[in-house]
Amino acid sequence: MDNMNRNDLPMSEEDRKKANTLCIISTILLVAPKILSCIGTFISSTITGEHISKFLYSALATRMVSSMMSALYGLSSLCTIASLVLMIIVRVKYPKSTYGKVLMWIFIILGIIMILAFLMLLAFCISCSNSLKGCPG
């Protein structure tokens, strides 16, 4: 027993529960904003579509929906960072957590997809890679 180091010891039930709780919160933070963004995009396209002339104060409604969508997209990215932070906390403090390992691989795959998408964008969308209107330094 004395020769076993910390990494060889199985996870205690309490640690497992804490790890799983953090992983569940991380998953919710990763997925929920994306779902809300999709719902929001659907609602905004419905409101600002053909029905716009039927709404009173349609300009105000469009602006409100547009502001809400911007806030939602910003929140989505913040939630993704928070989700990533929680996953890293689980992997550092509870390295034996299987849920944590799965989440890590999800993030790795998402990261690879994002990098590949960025590289393809560079290769095939020259006007996008040259878009430098907002390069304040």
Interacting residues with another protein (CB under 8 A): 74, 77, 80-81, 84-85, 88-89, 91-92, 95, 107, 111, 122-123, 126-127, 129-137
List of long-range contacts for 37-42, beta carbons under 8 Å, 24+ apart: 37/69, 37/72, 37/73, 37/76, 40/68, 40/69, 40/72, 41/69
CB nearer to another protein: give 47 or 82: 82
CB nearer to another protein: give 1 or 92: 92
Minimal distance, residue 134 CB to another protein, in Å: 3
| Helix then strand then coil, % of the chain, to nearest 5 | 80, 0, 20
CB nearer to another protein: give 9 or 52: 9
CB nearer to another protein: give 53 or 130: 130
Minimal distance, residue 70 CB to another protein, in Å: 9
- CB neighbourhood size of 59 (10 A): 9
- The closest alpha carbon to 72, from 38, 30, 45, 107, belongs to 38
Minimal distance, residue 66 CB to another protein, in Å: 14
